[in-house]
Amino acid sequence: CGSSTLANRLGPYKGCFSCKEPGRAPRDHIGQAGSTSMLVQGEPCGVYTMSCAKGLRCVPLPQEHSPLQALLQGRGFCTKHSRTSPTERPHPTGPHPSHSGEIEKAPCRKLLNSVLRGVELTIFLSDRDIYIPNCDTLGFYRKKQCR
């Protein structure tokens, strides 16, 4: 992919906030470390732009309907790094399903347990197939089942 193609996709250049000269490209300025170019807090960023300075991360605006698309198009901004990642799942506050026995009651897990009980540990010759369901971690059926 050529640089002109990438520039057309990213849209018009809006300038560098931390550069002293107006119209100077962000890749021409030096970041905090002095040896690498980095974007400072508040500068626009994205997947195809330079990295934010140490301790900062590129995030889309909170009201973005499609945050991934915004970052791909360079519509994010460098902000202080938070302790939790937006992709992390919150920790459940209730008891874990394996402790309460809920997994054993799930329909897919019931079928899987009955199939495994029916299969002997020794090698056997059989012309019929064994259907083993594809269960998720909670014991329910996954959307895609192997055939």
63 and 38 inside one domain: yes
- Asked if the structure places residue 54 within a domain, the reply is yes
69 and 105 inside one domain: no
137 and 74 inside one domain: no
Structural domain ending residue among the three candidates 23, 50, 80 = 80
124 and 71 inside one domain: no
Question: What's the pLDDT at 37?
Answer: 79
Mean pLDDT of the chain: 70
* Between 80 and 147, the higher pLDDT residue: 80
| Residue 29 DSSP class | S
Give helix then strand counts, H and E, for the chain.
Answer: 5, 3
* CA atoms in the 13 A half-sphere facing the CB of 141: 9
* Between 114 and 8, the higher pLDDT residue: 114
- Spatial neighbors of 7 by CB under 8 A, at least 6 apart, are 13
Could you tell me the pLDDT band of residue 75, with boundaries at 50, 70 and 90?
very high
Beta bridge partners of 56: 80
- Spatial neighbors of 36 by CB under 8 A, at least 6 apart, are 30
Question: What's the pLDDT at 87?
Answer: 54
pLDDT in tens, 94-122: 555 544 456 667 888 888 888 777 776 55
pLDDT in tens, 12-28: 444 555 554 455 444 44
Beta bridge partners of 78: 58
- Asked if the structure places residue 85 within a domain, the reply is no
* Between 134 and 76, the higher pLDDT residue: 76
Give whole-number Cα distances, 110 to 75, 140, 142, in Å: 48, 9, 14
pLDDT in tens, 31-43: 444 445 789 999 9
74 and 108 inside one domain: no
What domain range is 130 assigned to? 97-147
- Asked if the structure places residue 88 within a domain, the reply is no
Structural domain ending residue among the three candidates 48, 80, 112 = 80
- Asked if the structure places residue 134 within a domain, the reply is yes
Give the total number of structural domains in the chain.
2
Pair type for strands 44-45 and 56-60: unpaired
Q: What is the pTM of this model?
A: 0.37
49 and 11 inside one domain: yes
